[in-house]
Amino acid sequence: MSTKILIIEDEVILIKAIEFKLLKEGYEISKACDGKEGMEKIVSEKPDLIICDIMMPFANGLEILSFVRTKLALATPMVMLTSIGQEETVVKALELGADEYITKPFSPNEMILRIKKILIKHGIK
């Protein structure tokens, strides 16, 4: 059984790029194009890791992170993506329990290495 990764991102081209790289690495991928769909898939699919954009329609990444950590009380690893480099956003994401914070644009190879490191840390193969 392969590791399930949910990508929650409203930029379709970025979703396709991330999906391509993760599929090549052997991960099972699910996608959501907005925060509402993302929260529904977290509940229904129970992914092993979540990659989540900060700025999205219907629910932003910080709201999704809070939903996962507080309402669902899950320790599912979360990687936050954003083009916002503001320190307060980074601090808020980390305070809410984000495992990693990656600013766009980013290197796909760097993203894969960070994801592998998080999965190892959480004992997920």
pLDDT, residue 83, reads 79
Predicted confidence (pLDDT) per residue in 15-63, tens digit: 999 999 999 999 999 999 999 999 999 999 999 999 999 888 899 999 9
Of the candidates 74, 79, 69, 75, which has an alpha carbon nearest to the alpha carbon of residue 122?
75
pLDDT, residue 125, reads 73
Distance between CA atoms of 80 and 99, rounded to whole angstroms? Answer: 8
Q: What global pTM score does this model have?
A: 0.93
pLDDT band, very low/low/confident/very high, at 1 (cuts 50, 70, 90)? low
What is the crossing angle of helices 12-24 and 108-121, to 10°? 60
Instruction: Calculate the average pLDDT of the chain.
Output: 91
**CATH 3.40.50.2300 describes domain 4-120:** yes
- For the chain, the structural domain boundaries read 4-120
